[in-house]
Amino acid sequence: MSAGNAVGGLVPGKDPALAPTPPMGWNSWNRFRCYDLTEEVVLATADAMVESGMRDAGYRYLVVDDCWQAFARGDDGRLRSHPARFPSGMAALGEQIHARGLKFGLYLAPGRKTCAMIYDRYPARDIGSFGYEQLDADTLAGWGVDYLKYDWCRAGRGGTGLDYRGAFERMAAALANTGRPIVYSISEYGHARPWEWAGEYGHLWRTTPDIGPSWRSVLRLADRQHGLARYAGPGGWNDPDMLEVGNPGLGEVESRSHFMLWAMLAAPLFAGNDLRTMTEPTRLLLTHAGVLAVSQDALGRQGERVARFGRVEVWRRELSGAVAYGVLNRGRREIAVQVRDDALVLSGGQVLCPLTAESVDVWTGQPVHDRKMLWPLRSREMVLVRSPS
């Protein structure tokens, strides 16, 4: 099939009601990557999402990333599931996911290859969607897919002639033609400033390269959100990539600050750890009602960094009837903060954020004014304060 006869016509608008708040779920890639991804892993993860309370906390999308595919398309041109690792097929897998009260997500790529073929030596051929956009969209719709991650993966190579915007527009049109409501996740890593155009038909768009399980990676991606807040809101969200909470490489304090930062950024929240074996502190963090209330606030305003005092940053996010402030110690040394008059201040007196009698520490749920003495803010720790507006 050629590029010219795949999908034509104008790109229809999206249904913003599919993502009124930042989508939440789990994605297989960060923990299982390619060859460890199996039907058993996915279903056990679905069970863990239910049993851990994550589903009821709002994590609804279970996204099966790259490597679910057989090494070649069928004689009819359709994608098939890997016969050994997904023997029941994707339609049956989707039914099992739906039966648990979850939504089913899958991965495709717009070029001739997927990322696993490039970076993980996945020995497949012709499983990219170039020239098969409508067939692949119809196939996913027939399987009951609710969410598509569409991942660039050097799609402009191999003689496709694709550019970033054109590649994602083609699949947007194909998805619309299916008539099935599917959340559309655009993954081109921020190369072509997708925040300026992807909101026309995408529900979330990557603004960054891939995240890694390190504090340095978390900060690098958070810094790249500067100036992007005006492009996000109900129906369409800037996406600084998945969560690394619970994966080796991040400590407990770093994981909590990472989670709080993503909540302040109104970022999609897709866990990427092994839910089957996660620790109780990780479960409690991922399901923390106070932090998730900030993340999922209906106003849909992305937070921004509003001040810096050396290695201390202040982030602010407007909420429905409230405002949240995040104070982050990026330095390597512990610092001290305290309540003074009607403000949270550094020990040197610099005002970090205003306070009222109703201001609460989001993590503890306790009134901030109850903390009259100096208290430490550890290296890489964030404190999140919510006040009525």
Task: Please identify every residue annotated as catalytic.
Answer: 151, 210
On whether the CB atoms of residues 68 and 81 are closer than 8 A, the answer is yes
On whether the CB atoms of residues 33 and 121 are closer than 8 A, the answer is no
Range list of β-strands (E), the chain: 24-27, 61-64, 103-108, 147-151, 183-187, 204-206, 237-239, 269-271, 304-309, 312-319, 322-329, 335-340, 343-346, 351-354, 360-361, 375-377, 382-388
- Structure token digits, residue 329: 């110690």
The pair phi, psi for residue 26, each rounded to 5°, is -140, 145
Cα separation, 328 vs 378, whole angstroms: 9
Reference 91, options 33, 139, 27; nearest CA is 139
The number of angstroms, rounded, from the C-alpha of 247 to the middle of its chain's C-alpha atoms is 15
On whether the CB atoms of residues 155 and 130 are closer than 8 A, the answer is yes
Q: What ranges in the chain are assigned the alpha helix state H?
A: 29-32, 39-51, 54-57, 90-99, 115-119, 133-142, 164-178, 215-223, 252-264, 280-286, 289-295
Range list of β-strands (E), 180-226: 183-187, 204-206
CB atoms within 10 A of CB 5: 9
The pair phi, psi for residue 336, each rounded to 5°, is -120, 140
